[in-house]
Structure 1
């Protein structure tokens, strides 16, 4: 999220961050949003109040929803209202290693290259159309932590690139 907020602060970037929504009142993103002067909201998640989220998004005239660290399954009725307007980043080269613990899955599979994928969110987990990907080599001495750190560095660049491509209508 921080990489997206920072990119949007550049006057040459074609998008702006208008609000941040979380279900976790302790989320680090709340502090980042506040420091950037971005409106931030906490929406309780037992169950997740997607009607409230929808209301906030409409009030802020949101055109694109970028999930970042949001570890909840979003219901189909919400995704239908925001069809092709919700994107997420996943720490693997989808369609490989869907779901949780993607880095661990990659290590166990013995792949030599993994990475990250920005994709549209659909009711099926990690199955939406791919927008952008970045590769990361798996090094012989990698563990989940070291691999995750290198993937995260690529995620920051890849997510910004993907948002730019969507806003500017560019297909990679």
Structure 2
């Protein structure tokens, strides 16, 4: 069984979709813990309301200390797959090593386009529209030591509707990210996808 640890800085929309899929028996997995680097993250009370343990590990002056704390929390919770759901902090070497090949992120564009440091949330959608792209999409990828450079596990392309603005594009992609993540986790759980 997939034992999931979620990292979310704000709303954790992909996390919410995955937890809802578990509750609806559309995904055989267990949500072990939700960790945020922000005490005010909306993901935390949402998870607590569903009985999922939560932790706050703030961005500390000593990044190594935060990395050790995060790694220990994930291990103590029995996590075997880490899911980043809008986690706006780079993972440290301890966590990357302990969960190598078992950390997945969702990105609101078709990587390798529109990725990298500082490319998250609405910034991505603004860049996609500014570039005049005809399609965008969602990407699930492995985390490595850099921003958005890990191996791509799954993608879904979405045509950009005529006249779409940033808010409309964000909503469209957010829905695609959530469903793609649930489908990808199901493929991992059933052994159809190995990485």
- Smaller-chain TM-score range? over 0.9
Contact 2:68 2:94 in 1 (8 A): no
Residue 38 of structure 1: aligned partner: 52
Q: Deviations over 1:123-164 (max 9, x none)?
A: 121111111111221122111111111000111101111222
Matched, 1:63 2:77: no
Q: Judge which range, 128-137 or 23-32, deviates more.
A: 128-137
Contact 1:76 1:122 in 2 (8 A): no
Residue 4 of structure 2: aligned partner: none
Residue 10 of structure 1: aligned partner: 24
Q: Judge which range, 108-117 or 161-170, deviates more.
A: 161-170
- Looking at structure 2, the residues matched to 12 and 139 of structure 1 have their Cα atoms a distance apart, in angstroms, of 30
Provide runs of 4+ in structure 1 moved above 6 Å.
none
Q: Judge which range, 130-139 or 33-42, deviates more.
A: 130-139
Q: Deviations over 1:99-118 (max 9, x none)?
A: 31221121111111110101
Contact 2:32 2:53 in 1 (8 A): yes
From 117, 125, 149, give the equivalent of 1:103: 125
Matched, 1:157 2:179: yes
- Looking at structure 1, the residues matched to 25 and 132 of structure 2 have their Cα atoms a distance apart, in angstroms, of 43
Higher relative contact order (CA 8 A, sep 6+): 2
Structure 2 gap segments, 5+ residues each: 1-14
1:52-131 alignment, distance < 5 Å: 52-99=69-116, 100=119, 101-131=123-153
- Looking at structure 2, the residues matched to 94 and 124 of structure 1 have their Cα atoms a distance apart, in angstroms, of 13
Contact 2:70 2:95 in 1 (8 A): no
- Looking at structure 1, the residues matched to 25 and 163 of structure 2 have their Cα atoms a distance apart, in angstroms, of 41
Q: What's the C-alpha RMSD, in Å, of the aligned pairs?
A: 1.5
- Looking at structure 2, the residues matched to 19 and 166 of structure 1 have their Cα atoms a distance apart, in angstroms, of 19
Aligned residue pairs: how many? 172
- Looking at structure 1, the residues matched to 26 and 16 of structure 2 have their Cα atoms a distance apart, in angstroms, of 17
TM-score, normalised via structure 1 length: 0.93
